[in-house]
Structure 1
Amino acid sequence: MVVLRNGTVHTATDRGTIDGDVLIEDGEIAAVGDVDAPEDAEEIDVDGAHVTPGLVDAHSHAGMAEWGEPEDGDFNEGTDAVTPHVNALDGFHPRDEELKHAFQNGVTSVSSRMGSGNVIGGIICSMKTYGLTADEMLIREDGMKAAMGENPKRFHGEEEGRQPSTRPGVAATLREALMEAEDYVDRREHARNEGEPFDRDLGMENLARVLTEGFPLRVHAHRSDDIMTVFRIAEEFGIENLSIEHATEGHVIADEFEKRDVPAIVGPSISSASKYELRNITFETPGILHEEGVKVAIQTDAPILPQQHLDVCVGLAVGEGFPEDEALEAVTRYPAEILGIDHRVGTLEPGTDADVAVWDGPFYETGTKTQHVFVDGEHVFDRAVDAVDPREEYAW
């Protein structure tokens, strides 16, 4: 049992920010406020420091793309443009150095997934960034990865000479897969009703979850026309649980997001326009979407940006108009809600996982550093003890 005393506690709940304590017991948040802790509780006086939920990145490849060894990345099963049968959990490496950098800088949960080379990439998993095995770090399977635009065109059309090689080809490939899944569901239901044998297909079983169980479809889309294509296809197939990831031109059609009640996971916006679909990249996007009433989460797309710099992305968005009072929610409560893991992480609500970060200033300001980090109640980082001078760590 640990009690953090005298903090500026940002609960990311309706309670907002309070001056008080946080009690951690049995891996959970036990109480927040004026805490009466048992005498045997370990007490840490944070002396007014900022206490927040552990940060949540709703779009990451941490654990899938090895830090410093990108050739070992297990994030694109490039043998086909449609691979709904693969699962990120089976490629997640708990000792990926990127995960260590993440939790030491307050990022305690990530939605880790395959890359955007395939039109349908496979099942995405929300993971803790600290743990011994992928199984114990798993929070839940949180969706099916899909991708529009340049990446699947290049990965398959230009490099392999197969569909898709155009934007219409990408859309057609997605439609074909969803239609096949619809037919699969009908055949499966018929076989069950008639008591007939049925040959199961792992990929179709996974896509069937999107069509019949509300399993989220999470779509990589940068350009506004690609985003509208996703909206159109989702309506055709009755897919209601949808998120748009990157949303680089989301600000152009913010009203379309609001009208459909579709959340946007925005970023990484600290990039040059390395391809045509990024030409309108700007840190103003989160603020414009928020102003329109869209639920916004901010992402790093690690390792495109290092996972540890999720806080920097928020600060840059604040500098371009994203409200300061929404900054924390964009990397805690909102991504947790989008991912369907808000019963576990994203707030300092009693009963949730004790994923907690203590900062020596507002978390999104460049000069701010974590002082303590807890994951599932375990004190995984104490800057006074664990911080390493890189000149010593890597001295020859």
Structure 2
Amino acid sequence: MYIYNAEIITMEGEISRIPLGFVRVEDGKITEVSEGRPEKISPGDIDGAGNILMPGFIDIHTHMGFIGDGASDEGIDVNEGSDPVMPQLRSVDGINFRDGYFADAVRAGVTSVVTGVGSLNPIGGDMLALKTSARCLDEAVIMRSGIKFALGENPKSYYTERDEAPQTRMATAALIREALEKAKRYGELLERAEEPEDRPDYDIKCEALLPLLRGELKAHFHCHRADDIMTALRICGEFGLEPLLVHCTEGHLIADILGEKGAKAVVGPIICDRGKPELANASLENAAKLYRAGVKVAICTDHPENPINFLTAGAAYCHKYGLPKEEAVKAITITAAELGGFGDRTGSIAVGKDADLILLSGDPFEIQTDVLMTMINGKVYFERN
């Protein structure tokens, strides 16, 4: 299949633009990207009609499928509040892939998301990267992206109400360190065991943290305040973890430090009020200041805090308040894919990558722009009549 007669934004290099070109798709993959027109056009090919063809949008911090569209408590599975340390929770067992918001995502051109548990627990379950449409969830999964950690107000408030630990930031950090140290020692015992009887008793929590300690998963740290951001980096440094700073609301206050440390951040939700104490210093200039300091930045909706179809609006606001446009577009395409750990699969239009493509009627940040087509893995899931 060819998609031809389109202005192509590849997101390769400095957002390379092909004024008039075509993309060839075979078996769900991109097999050719070129200027001009294909030599032969078949009835099944797609005429871009001069519109913009670009990679699908990506949001790497959401709770898609965990908080249902219009759901009561029965449709909410986002937090398991029975234990503050729950790394063994697997998102794949909690996502309702038939939730209506996935269809909203496809109509808005969002082809991939990272979703997972909420932020009540100092350590929650895993974060799962998936495509927004497929026959079933198992076929939509791209990879496990990370393990969710949370600092600050959320775990502290929830467990104080239950009269359990943690009730302070110190206790939250201590519980995280205790779990990581236990998993580290558990892993060392497994490595030293020469016979089956030498192996330690199976521990599901330690087992869940071993991929993190081996560097196979990232540590997704929910952190708003500057002190919580530094705590996240401190803990990751102690255990050799790769941190991803989620929200990073006060990052602009310590942007120089984060730049020096080579930090990576997912900022958002962008369109929101200062509805809790940790958001007192929220700034629409956050993404721009972090970028200028050398921090690699992606943008998220934190769906449903912002509905998933407002992803481009959030990125547009970040651009309005100082983030260069090319970086704002990258923040919801290739940079998001790279920070999520699946930049080799999607996020740009390049030979060998998944054919996750969208056709737009105009500038992606213009509110009147329509998504005309959404393709995931080479299959068209949405067309605007």
TM tier, smaller: over 0.9
**Residue 217 of structure 2: SS of its match in structure 1?**
coil
Q: Distance in 2 between matches of 1:192 and 1:79?
A: 36
**Corresponding letter in the other structure for 1:47:** A
Following superposition, the deviation at residue 115 of structure 1 comes to 0.3
CA deviations over 1:131-166 (Å, ceiling 9, x no partner): 1211100000011000001111112122x1111111
State the partner residue of 1:388.
Answer: none
**Corresponding letter in the other structure for 1:5:** Y
Q: Indicate yes or no: 2:367 matched with 1:370.
A: no
Q: Distance in 1 between matches of 2:328 and 2:33?
A: 21
Instruction: Give the alignment of 1:41-120 within 5 angstroms.
Output: 42-71=44-73, 72-120=75-123
Q: Identify which range, 175-184 or 208-217, moves more after superposition.
A: 208-217
**Corresponding letter in the other structure for 1:330:** A
Q: Indicate yes or no: 2:234 matched with 1:235.
A: no
**Identity in percent:** 37
State the partner residue of 1:221.
Answer: 223
Q: Indicate yes or no: 2:299 matched with 1:295.
A: no
CA deviations over 1:160-181 (Å, ceiling 9, x no partner): 1111111111111111111111
State the partner residue of 1:207.
Answer: 209
**Corresponding letter in the other structure for 1:116:** S
State the partner residue of 1:13.
Answer: 12
Q: Distance in 2 between matches of 1:142 and 1:109?
A: 12
Are the equivalent residues in 2 in contact too, given 1:315–1:366 (CA < 8 A)? no
Following superposition, the deviation at residue 209 of structure 1 comes to 1.5
State the partner residue of 2:361.
Answer: 360
CA deviations over 1:16-61 (Å, ceiling 9, x no partner): 1112112222111121123536543623222221111011101011
State the partner residue of 1:345.
Answer: 346
* Counterparts in 2 of 1:269 and 1:382: CA distance versus 1, 3 Å: same
Are the equivalent residues in 2 in contact too, given 1:221–1:246 (CA < 8 A)? yes
Q: Distance in 2 between matches of 1:193 and 1:261?
A: 42
* Counterparts in 2 of 1:281 and 1:137: CA distance versus 1, 3 Å: same
Are the equivalent residues in 1 in contact too, given 2:373–2:384 (CA < 8 A)? yes
* Counterparts in 2 of 1:231 and 1:197: CA distance versus 1, 3 Å: closer
* Counterparts in 2 of 1:37 and 1:73: CA distance versus 1, 3 Å: farther
State the partner residue of 1:149.
Answer: 152
**Corresponding letter in the other structure for 2:369:** T
What TM-score comes out, normalization by structure 2 length?
0.95
Following superposition, the deviation at residue 238 of structure 1 comes to 2.0
Q: Distance in 2 between matches of 1:351 and 1:65?
A: 34
Are the equivalent residues in 2 in contact too, given 1:64–1:92 (CA < 8 A)? yes
Q: Distance in 2 between matches of 1:82 and 1:224?
A: 23
Q: Identify which range, 318-327 or 208-217, moves more after superposition.
A: 208-217
Are the equivalent residues in 1 in contact too, given 2:232–2:243 (CA < 8 A)? no
**Which ranges in structure 1 are unaligned for 5 or more consecutive residues?**
385-396
* Counterparts in 2 of 1:49 and 1:161: CA distance versus 1, 3 Å: same
Q: Distance in 1 between matches of 2:317 and 2:8?
A: 23
Q: Distance in 1 between matches of 2:278 and 2:257?
A: 19
**Corresponding letter in the other structure for 2:177:** R
Are the equivalent residues in 2 in contact too, given 1:300–1:313 (CA < 8 A)? yes
What TM-score comes out, normalization by structure 1 length?
0.93
Following superposition, the deviation at residue 259 of structure 1 comes to 1.7
Are the equivalent residues in 2 in contact too, given 1:94–1:131 (CA < 8 A)? no
Q: Distance in 1 between matches of 2:256 and 2:278?
A: 20
Following superposition, the deviation at residue 192 of structure 1 comes to 3.9
State the partner residue of 1:318.
Answer: 319
Are the equivalent residues in 2 in contact too, given 1:94–1:132 (CA < 8 A)? no
Following superposition, the deviation at residue 269 of structure 1 comes to 2.1
**Residue 328 of structure 1: SS of its match in structure 2?**
helix
**Residue 341 of structure 1: SS of its match in structure 2?**
coil
**Residue 346 of structure 1: SS of its match in structure 2?**
coil
Following superposition, the deviation at residue 4 of structure 1 comes to 1.9
**Residue 94 of structure 1: SS of its match in structure 2?**
coil
State the partner residue of 1:176.
Answer: 178
Are the equivalent residues in 1 in contact too, given 2:244–2:266 (CA < 8 A)? yes
Q: Distance in 2 between matches of 1:37 and 1:382?
A: 25
Are the equivalent residues in 2 in contact too, given 1:85–1:203 (CA < 8 A)? yes
**Which ranges in structure 2 are unaligned for 5 or more consecutive residues?**
none
